[in-house]
A = this chain, B = another copy of it.
Amino acid sequence: MDTIGIGRPVLERGLLHASLSDPAMESMNLLNQVAERYPKAVSLAAGRPFEGFYDLEDMNRYLNVFCSYLTRERGLSERDVLRILYQYGPTKGVIGELIARHLAVDEAIEAQPAAVVVTVGAQEAMYLVLRALRAGPQDAVLAVDPTYVGLTGAALLAEMPVLPVPVAEDGIDLDALVVTLRRARAAGRRVRACYLIPDFANPIGLSMSADNRVRLLEVARSEDLLLIEDNAYGVFHPGAERPRTLRSLDRDGRVIYIGSFAKTGVAGARVGFVVADQPVAAAAGPGGLLADELGKLKSMLTVNTSPIAQAVIGGKLIAHDFSLVAANRRERAVYAANLQAVLTGLDRRLGGLDGVGWNRPEGGFFVVLTVPFEVDDALLEQAAEEFGVLFTPMRHFHSTPAGDRQLRLSISNLTPEVIDEGLDRLAALIRHRLA
């Protein structure tokens, strides 16, 4: 430990873990600080779920439903139920079976409950998977670029390089994937997996086509690659026919599937999960599933996910016959209406403006705007201070300059009035910069 003299020790950040000095970490902090400094600005930045339907009664109801399930369906005594809620619990969690039923109902995914690890949000799942796969400095993970900041963070913590693969119109650029993979392997890297969000990816907002999904699985098979599928937004496809997840299309066990209940369940429960049924072979001792290895890592990290929090999510799943599509009927309508309001609001305010354009996702939480000038933190600061509006510069998610003139808008936690006000202010900023 280095200190300034003896006495009160002062730690040097340069002598703390490298992730704390990483530019990605700095920029995420900066974004948060801007949001804190301008609390009255209209935020089109935060990708938080809609808050309008929160009801304190729901939590009691979900807890009660879960307790009834334990007594009626699993035959537990009142004492056993209390033990499950109040005591330390199994590392892999207590709602693996309920999650498996939800995956069967909503996603046509067959998952054995033993392959499910309940985690403290999808973030812990990402970290566990990367930590497990990172055995040495030659290990790396591929990720679609631009990449979700949570994946970047988990990789920083696990000290695992992220090799970018560009997006394509219809999902991931498969040719670039193969080139990147082979080049990395030729250079001595062990490429352990490729991370992606097939449905309404954060931050780009778009989904992979059905064809791109099938072809990605073929590439994964021919190139011998694992895929990490992160599905936080799939429920928010508008129609009844939603595209199939990679995991439900996978016949080879190549997909590690990460789920989140932050947007579909209750964000404050901080419950996510990973399905990892890949077999693990051990030189000595019994093998098992990758899920068991992730559970061992979790026992050294958070021991187990709060069973009280799991009970809230488990109760919500049961209360809606295991369908989060059904549970989010009202939210899906809000998100669809918000998305339309933002898209038509952009059309009305900025349509036809030279060099200004935006993508048109069919659902999800995000829209990406392209403008003919740099979108950096200085612009964000000006937007917050002079125009009272917040967004997210896309450059923070990119490893190339491709996002330097782009910004991300979040549509999830807005109302029609806020959308109008926010877009008025954003349009004023853009016209000001163009003038």
Contact = CB atoms under 8 A, between A and B. Distances in A.
A16 B135 contact: yes
Contacts of A315: none
A221 interface: yes
Interface in A82-133: 82-89, 120-121, 123-124, 127, 131-133
B124 A300 contact: no
Interface stretch (A152-160, A165-173, A200-208, A325-333): A152-160
Interface string A131-152: 1111100000000000000100
Interface residues of A, number: 101
A74 interface: no
A338 interface: no
Interface of A: 1, 3-4, 6-21, 25-26, 28-29, 48-49, 51, 54-56, 59-60, 63, 67, 79, 81-89, 120-121, 123-124, 127, 131-135, 150, 153-154, 156-157, 190-193, 221-222, 224-226, 252-254, 262, 266-271, 278-283, 285, 287, 290, 293, 296-297, 299-309, 312
Contacts of A254: 9
A54 B82 CA distance: 6
B279 A8 contact: yes
A135 B17 contact: yes
Given A28-B299, A293-B16, A1 B86 contact: no
A308 B127 contact: no
**Identical chains in the assembly:** 2
Given A290-B11, A305-B270, A306-B306, A16 B86 contact: no
Given A156-B300, A279-B11, A86 B20 contact: no
A285 B26 contact: yes
